[in-house]
Amino acid sequence: MRDSQDLFPTRLERKLGMFERIDPVVYGDEAQLANGPLDKSQIEAYERDGFLSFDGFFDPDDMQAFIDELRGYEDDADLKLSEGTVLEPGREEIRTVFGIHQVSERFNRLTRDPRLLAIVKQLLGSDVYIHQSRINYKPGFKGKGFDWHSDFETWHSEDGMPRMRALSCSIVLTDNGEFNGPLMLIPGSHRYFVPCVGRTPENNYKESLKSQEVGVPPASSLRELMLENDIEAPKGPAGSLIIFECNTLHGSNINMSCWPRSNLFFVYNSVENTLHEPYCGNRPRPEFLADRSDWQPLEPLGEP
């Protein structure tokens, strides 16, 4: 379905100033918010900052099985050749494996962890499904960074996500420290939509997932938001969790340490926010990047 009006114009030929958010940040109604796992101060912090971090949300020992599976993928020639696997620019190391919840039953089950799903549904105020999943490997010495961006800006423009009613759960699989390229976020940046300059080439994802060109906000807007609220880089041991709103500006540096920074990302979208035609006018991106056709509302594990 192609919308007649695009509320979030971006990928333009000239700079358009950023404007204030028009969508709620937290969608749960009073009862949903009161009965959900997050307390009032956590909900207020998410609303204010656009992210929440939880040290040791999962038991680090439970992460080992995921890490072992991850290491196996690095020796899986077929997986490395698949379109859903992105290698580091000019190298043989894996940068990202997309659609991991469709590749692996273990990762699929984790998308339905009851504690995680309860938080997601409290914040999005509806049933949810997986829009995108991925593992960013960021290997020691060779892991390149990710430029500043809003995921929603890409998912709206290139996947047709109509409104800001989605969030990412980043599960730390290897300790995120100061030196191995932790996720950096600009607190409060989710409260502005920052249009980006530059038309979106067809099949842009073939380049953007290695190194993003279009969809990077202008430095003037980044500077304004950083001066307003600084930058935060939540660190924590394997098993920690960072939940960030779909429009919170984030990025990460290259990994100059010997330690990998492998994080798992589950993107939950509200079933009230399913994808339309891409607003940039291009053909829809492949399903491993944006589920358009076979999604199901998620039920917590352990329930029929």
Residues found near Fe ion in the complex (CB under 5 A): 151
When binding is defined by CB under 6 A, the residue of 144, 149, 190, 191 that contacts ligand 6CS is: 149
262: partner contacted, choices ligand 6CS, Fe ion, none (Cβ within 5-8 A by kind) = none
CB nearer to ligand 6CS: give 38 or 128: 128
Smallest gap, in angstroms, from Cβ of residue 159 to Fe ion?
13
200: partner contacted, choices Fe ion, ligand 6CS, none (Cβ within 5-8 A by kind) = none
154 interacts with ligand 6CS by CB under 6 A = yes
Q: CB under 6 A: which stretch of 9-17, 147-155, 172-180, 256-264 binds ligand 6CS?
A: 147-155
Residues 95-134 that bind ligand 6CS (CB under 6 A): 132, 134
Rounded Cα–Cα distance for residues 264 and 259 (Å): 16
Matching residue, tokens 């500006």: 249
289: partner contacted, choices ligand 6CS, Fe ion, none (Cβ within 5-8 A by kind) = ligand 6CS
Task: Quote the tokens at residue 27.
Answer: 């969608």
Task: Quote the tokens at residue 168.
Answer: 């990412």
Matching residue, tokens 């700079």: 15
90 CB neighbour count, 10 Å cutoff:
7
Smallest CA-to-CA distance from 180 within 151, 144, 210 is with 144
* Sequence-distant (≥ 6) Cβ neighbours of residue 288 within 8 angstroms: 83, 84, 98, 99, 102
CB nearer to ligand 6CS: give 8 or 146: 146
212: partner contacted, choices ligand 6CS, Fe ion, none (Cβ within 5-8 A by kind) = ligand 6CS
At residue 207, φ and ψ (nearest 5 deg) are -105, -40
CB nearer to ligand 6CS: give 95 or 191: 95
CB nearer to ligand 6CS: give 25 or 289: 289
Smallest gap, in angstroms, from Cβ of residue 7 to Fe ion?
21
Smallest gap, in angstroms, from Cβ of residue 98 to ligand 6CS?
8
Smallest CA-to-CA distance from 299 within 109, 124, 167 is with 109
Helix 114-124 vs helix 40-49: crossing angle, to nearest 10: 60
Q: CB under 6 A: which stretch of 33-41, 63-71, 148-156, 228-236 binds ligand 6CS?
A: 148-156
Rounded Cα–Cα distance for residues 205 and 224 (Å): 28
170 CB neighbour count, 10 Å cutoff:
23
When binding is defined by CB under 6 A, the residue of 51, 57, 107, 146 that contacts ligand 6CS is: 146
What is the β-pairing status of strands 241-245 and 183-185?
unpaired
CB nearer to Fe ion: give 216 or 298: 216
291 interacts with ligand 6CS by CB under 6 A = no
* Sequence-distant (≥ 6) Cβ neighbours of residue 168 within 8 angstroms: 151, 243, 244, 246, 265, 266, 267, 268
266: partner contacted, choices ligand 6CS, Fe ion, none (Cβ within 5-8 A by kind) = none
CB nearer to ligand 6CS: give 43 or 157: 157
Rounded Cα–Cα distance for residues 101 and 110 (Å): 8
At residue 66, φ and ψ (nearest 5 deg) are -70, -40
134: partner contacted, choices ligand 6CS, Fe ion, none (Cβ within 5-8 A by kind) = ligand 6CS
In the complex, the residues that contact ligand 6CS under the rule CB under 6 A are 132, 134, 146, 149, 151, 154, 208, 212, 289
